[in-house]
Amino acid sequence: KQEVTQIPAALSVPEGENLVLNCSFTDSAIYNLQWFRQDPGKGLTSLLLIQSSQREQTSGRLNASLDKSSGRSTLYIAASQPGDSATYLCAVKRDGNNRLAFGKGNQVVVIP
Amino acid sequence: DARVTQTPRHKVTEMGQEVTMRCQPILGHNTVFWYRQTMMQGLELLAYFRNRAPLDDSGMPKDRFSAEMPDATLATLKIQPSEPRDSAVYFCASGLVRDGQTNLNTEAFFGQGTRLTVV
């Protein structure tokens, strides 16, 4: 069974600092990995999706890397802003099975 | 703007009552997922459908939960009878799998969720 772990569970950073969020998974036979953002009381918004053949994806201030062999992904958020405060969830998908296995999230607070 | 719509957004009910949650997937999507989110367990898949047929409902307690797709524009998740341990946020997500393929061709798009409280 795929286990997805996100460390740290919670962190606070001052505005302007770069954020580094880590996700690890136990089964490297993944099809893709997706990072989501969740605001309190809201649904999940997809941020980045990395296919298993890719090493990274970028969108604006966000960059996600994938090292499939070591079972790790890292989400970088450059020059953090108070509006980046949210929970960030990592989810992995196996080939041929559309079930997403989620981590429990990194809860981020950016202090103005 | 295409989105997954879930109703109700909030539901408070007494133990033993029936609860029905509804989901309208994005038009044209043929795959629908139901996830449950709790503080302890995080997000867990309950069931998923493709072309209205259940493909995987192994995450769902069969004695009290049931999931259906009466038509392509509506998915339902029913709990009968409800229990306090069912209190959680229930998310619906939809995506597209093209004919002859097994993997999603799109991302999974999530609804806003139904926050269920059973007292």
* pLDDT, tens only, A28-86: 889 999 999 999 888 899 999 999 999 999 999 999 999 999 999 999 999 999 999 99
Under a CB-based contact definition with an 8 Å cutoff, are residues B104 and B97 in contact? yes
Chain A residues with CB under 8 Å of B111 CB are 43
A98:B108 CB<8 A: yes
Taking 70 as the pLDDT cut, the residues of chain B under it are: 1
- Considering only the beta carbons, identify the residue of B45, B48, B113 that sits closest to A43: B113
Cβ within 8 Å of B, A 51-70: none
**Other residues' Cβ atoms within 10 Å of the Cβ of residue B107:** 15
pLDDT at residue number A83: 96
pLDDT at residue number B1: 62
Question: What is the chain B residue with the closest CA to A93?
Answer: B103
Instruction: Tell me the C-alpha distance between A30 and B35, whole Å.
Output: 20
Q: A92 — contact with chain B (CB < 8 Å)?
A: no
Question: Which pLDDT band, with edges at 50, 70 and 90, does A99 fall under?
Answer: confident
Specify the 3-state DSSP secondary structure of B38.
Answer: strand
C-alpha pair distances (Å), A37 with each of B41, B81, B104, B115: 18, 33, 20, 18
Specify the 3-state DSSP secondary structure of B97.
Answer: coil
Residue B99 backbone dihedrals phi, psi, to 5 degrees: -55, 135
Bridge-based pairing state of the strands A44-51 and A56-59: unpaired
C-alpha pair distances (Å), A56 with each of A44, A97, B90: 21, 22, 31
Interface test with A, best of B21, B38, B103, B109 (most A CBs within 10 A): B103
pLDDT at residue number B2: 79
Tell me the torsion sign for CA atoms A6, B117, B66, B68: negative
Q: List the one residue out of B97, B115, B118, B93 whose CA is nearest residue B38.
A: B115
Question: Which pLDDT band, with edges at 50, 70 and 90, does A2 fall under?
Answer: confident
At residue A95, does pLDDT exceed 70? yes
Instruction: Tell me the C-alpha distance between B89 and B87, whole Å.
Output: 7
pLDDT at residue number A42: 87
Could you tell me what percentage of chain B is helix, strand and coil, using 3-state DSSP and rounding each to the nearest 5? Answer: 5, 50, 45
Q: B42 — contact with chain A (CB < 8 Å)?
A: yes
Which amino acid does the sequence have at B51?
N
pLDDT at residue number A25: 96
